[in-house]
Amino acid sequence: MLEGIGLVSHSHGLGGRQEFHVGPATDHAHLVCASCGSRVELARHEVQPIADEVLLRHGFDADLEHLTIEGRCAACRARTA
């Protein structure tokens, strides 16, 4: 209900876990480190080119509000280098 009236928005974290953000917030995506769990929020303009390319190549209109990219942060990568 709160999402429906614009007070919160949700996205999905590791393992599909739902995460909620107090609104109104601008659309954003997340980078999540699978090693340490650190998170970085990406502004819409940072991920819009990815969505544009997906739409162009596949005809798929991505919902950037729910985008989470899992990988390894710079600190974790440096520890294993």
Tokens standing for residue 46: 């940072």
SS (HEC) of the chain: CCCCCCCEEEEECHHHCEEEEECCCCCEEEEEECCCCCEEEEEHHHHHHHHHHHHHHHCCCCCHHHCEEEECCHHHHHHCC
Confidence (pLDDT) at 77: 95
DSSP 3: T
Judged by average pLDDT, the poorest of 15-19, 23-27, 36-40, 58-62 is 23-27
DSSP 72: -
Structural domains of the chain, with CATH: 27-79 (3.30.1490.190)
**pLDDT tens digits for range 49-66:** 999 999 999 999 988 877
Contact 12, 51 (CB under 8 A): no
